Amino acid sequence: MTGLVCLALLLGASAGWAGGLVGRPAFCLGSDGVAMTVEFSNMCYAVQATGAPSEEQGDKVQTQRGLLRATFGVAPGLDVDLALGTANLSFPDSPADFSTFRSEWGFAWGGGLRAGYPFQDELWQLQLSMNYIGFRAEGETANSQKVLRSEYVWQELTPTLTVGYRFGQLTPFVGAMQAILFGVRETEVEFLGAVKPALGGKQNYTDGKQKPQGLMGVDWRFPDGYFLTAQISASGQGQWGFSLGLAQALK
């Protein structure tokens, strides 16, 4: 696993952390199909700020991920997958006088389910998918008087609807996605060198108010079952994403 994470970090750095909500082949694999994908993603969301410095504001949050995904075709037009890798979390727009919150890279896990129609091999396919990713993120933001330390169990559930059409080796696709953010946040507040337990604590959170994002992408098939998939998404509300995946489909 250490070697895999190092490979993901190396490839991600060279790609500028272009990464992947999708990276596997654009169409469903079919019965008994298997694909292995190295994928990277950079997602930006707008969330309600937490903590005293910016309670009334909406914050931008970015998360970058490098994953190894295994996809299994369990029936015609039905795939399931599992993913392991690494991820981080940052709040790039810090409140006045506070440092930027940026977590270290941590262990990430995920999975997904997608159904495609028609079931048989055609030039087009309509897909409904559900993707999940979770990871732990720890970091802090501080000014001359206060330190706010936060630990997240960050989780995303993303239903997506797409339609694609195959032109030779290229398969462009378009669609829409809706991110649902949830998890657990634990905070510790230190003021003038003393921890203030009453100002911190643990809480569950759910953010189902993310704007739906339109998306477009392309899947490029190479010899020996290799696929390169790229996708961009945006809502027009400061929320966007970019993903890139390299897969090999096996039978």
pTM of the complete model beyond 0.85? no
Mean pLDDT of the chain: 83
Please name the residues in contact with 38: beta carbons below 8 A apart, sequence gap of 6 or more. Answer: 7, 8, 11, 23, 66, 67, 68, 69, 245, 246, 247
Could you tell me if 154 and 64 are in contact, meaning their C-beta atoms sit under 8 angstroms apart?
A: no
pLDDT at 23: 61
pLDDT band at 54 (very low <50, low <70, confident <90, very high): very low
Taking the alpha carbons at both ends of the chain, their separation in whole angstroms is 25
Nearest to 219 by CA among 10, 20, 14: 20
Amino acid, res. 232: I
Average pLDDT over residues 112-117: 95
Q: For 184-199, write each residue's pLDDT tens digit.
A: 988 878 777 777 766 7
Q: Which residue has the higher pLDDT, 60 or 237?
A: 60
Asked if the model's pLDDT at residue 98 lies above 90, the reply is no
* Alpha carbons 150 and 137: distance in angstroms, whole number: 8
Q: Which residue has the higher pLDDT, 219 or 100?
A: 219
pLDDT band at 58 (very low <50, low <70, confident <90, very high): low
CB atoms inside a 10 Å sphere around CB 173: 23
pLDDT band at 9 (very low <50, low <70, confident <90, very high): very low
Asked if the model's pLDDT at residue 37 lies above 70, the reply is yes
Q: Which residue has the higher pLDDT, 32 or 160?
A: 160
Could you tell me if 56 and 250 are in contact, meaning their C-beta atoms sit under 8 angstroms apart?
A: no
pLDDT band at 56 (very low <50, low <70, confident <90, very high): very low
Asked if the model's pLDDT at residue 5 lies above 50, the reply is no
* Alpha carbons 26 and 228: distance in angstroms, whole number: 9
pLDDT at 198: 60
Asked if the model's pLDDT at residue 130 lies above 60, the reply is yes
Reported in sequence order, the residue ranges of the chain that DSSP labels E, i.e. its strands, are 34-48, 58-75, 78-91, 101-102, 106-117, 124-142, 146-165, 170-177, 180-191, 194-195, 201-207, 213-221, 226-234, 240-250
What is the DSSP pairing of strand 170-177 with strand 146-165?
antiparallel
